Structure 1
Amino acid sequence: MPSSRIQSTLFAAAFLLTGGLLLTACPQGDVGAPCNHGSVEPPSSKLVTFPALSCSDLLCVYGEEQTVPEAACENDLDCNNVAGGNGENIFECELGSCRLSLQYVLERSMCSKTCVTDEDCNNSTISNRPTVDPEETACATGFKCTVLQRLGQFCCDKLCVCRDDLPALDELEMDCTPNIGDAWLECNSTDPAMDPSMTGAAP
């Protein structure tokens, strides 16, 4: 085989190999995949953990708003019965008081990412197959781009949240309306002591 043809063949093989590596290295997204907050204490309500190393975009979200029963208890069953007893072990008894079950929080925690539209929450690969299979996620109804927190690092930021958890978030999204929502104003308020334009002698 002529040397020029050998060189061309080697070049083509190298190009295909490099292209394949680049394609497989592209981030695919893993919204909905299970994740761990790295905590041994369950939260009192919604929780966003960053960075969460088990997630592609480093965001792990627990999006539910559960009301913890204010009742004395001797075991987990007492807490779940008081809460309505829907068959799920949502709460646990700890030192005579009810709290969210850490196991339940982990089961309902999912990888997320910041977003602008609902479409941003769709995981897709080059072959248009989902990167998170239905049996891998605890979300039954898909994801919506919405606001999850009114305080903290992601105050009024839009994140991908499971639609299962949305009923408690509608009012919060209204409160985060840019420039007019109460939560948005709190998130974006400036401390006069830290704002150079607000310092100096009064007129």
Structure 2
Amino acid sequence: MTHCTRSVSSLMFVSILGGCVLQPDPIGESLSVADSTDSTHAELSGGIAMTTSGTTVAPGEGEYGASCQLLGVPESVQSKAISLQPDCAGGICVFQFEDTPPPCSDDSDCAAPWPTCDGDFCELDQNFVAASSRCTQNCEEDADCPAIPGCASEAVCAPATLLAPLCCEKVCLCGDDLSLGATADLENLCQQPGTCGP
């Protein structure tokens, strides 16, 4: 099994599916789901609604920021991953996770979100991966990215992988989960001719 190490190649997202380049996809109108404690809500950009008390309403199935299933990625995701996902309004599903799994000799050395030991490193809980994977969309700049439900910081428009079919495609990502250094390195690589092939 391959484990995460802090190198530029390991900080890239996994992408295995083939496909065409996605264009920015506008997402829905305001949500019709009301907060259980406050039925008055106002539309924010990107179809995310906020109640008058300041709480955000969870996105509907397939909408920007909603849970999604990664397609075509390894059976056991141990790092960041991204895939095309037709069930998402923006056509992309992403799992963001920067932390490196701790070394271990048995399960007692591991804690959430790495509950088990494979003999060398703690393995990421796949239920955590599934619960943390979110629909996203293409973008050109940060202003194209609506707020992401559950993300405390601003959404950032950045490339997510050097692997096809999303090589150097900019997508909306939660700033909470980004390593500024790794993101800058990836953006610099994407400026180099031939990075994504001829």
| Aligned mates of 2:27, 2:160 — CA distance in 1 | 24
1:48 aligns with 2:48: no
Corresponding letter in the other structure for 2:106: C
Distance 1:70 1:113, change over 3 A: same
Alignment map for 1:172-191 (pairs within 5 Å): 172-177=182-187, 181-185=188-192, 187-190=195-198
Mark the runs of 5 or more structure 1 residues left unpaired by the alignment. Answer: 1-25, 81-88, 124-131, 191-203
Query: What CA distance in whole angstroms lies between the structure 2 residues aligned with 1:34 and 1:121?
Result: 17
Query: In structure 2, what is the Cα distance between the partners aligned to 1:140 and 1:54?
Result: 25
RMSD of the alignment, in Å? 2.7
Structure number with the higher helix fraction is 1
- Could you say what secondary structure the match of 1:150 adopts? coil
Does the 8 Å contact 1:45/1:65 carry over to 2? yes
Three-state SS of the structure 2 residue aligned to 1:160 is: strand
Q: Residues of 2 paired with 1:150 and 1:171: CA distance?
A: 16
> Is contact 2:78–2:123 with CA below 8 Å preserved after alignment?
yes
Give the CA deviation at 1:165: 0.7
Fraction of identical pairs, as percent: 28
Partner-residue secondary structure (3-state), 2:115: strand
Deviation at 1:95, TM superposition (A): 4.9
Amino acid in structure 1 at the alignment position of 2:195 = C
In structure 2, the partner of 1:147 is 159
Partners of 1:165 and 1:151 in 2: how far apart?
20
Give the match for residue 50 of structure 2.
Answer: none
Q: Quick one: higher RCO (CA 8 Å, sep 6+), 1 or 2?
A: 2
Taking structure 1 as reference, are residues 173 and 106 closer, same or farther at Cα in structure 2, changes over 3 Å only? Answer: same
Q: What TM-score, normalized to structure 1?
A: 0.57
Q: 1:84 aligns to what?
A: none
Which residue number in structure 1 is paired with residue 11 of structure 2?
none
User: Partners of 1:35 and 1:55 in 2: how far apart?
Assistant: 7
Where structure 2 has 5 or more consecutive residues not aligned to the other structure, the ranges are 1-25, 29-45, 47-62
In the alignment, which of 103, 116, 122 is matched to residue 70 of structure 1? 103
TM-score (ref. length: structure 2):
0.58
State the alpha-carbon separation in 1 of the partners of residues 86 and 163 from structure 2: 22
Cross-structure match for 2:94:
61
Which of 95, 115, 119 is equivalent to 2:143? 119
Aligned residues: 137
Q: Distance in 1 between matches of 2:167 and 2:105?
A: 34
Determine if contact 1:31/1:160 at 8 Å carries over to the other structure.
no
Secondary structure, counterpart of 1:91 in structure 2: coil
| Larger Rg computed on CA atoms | 1
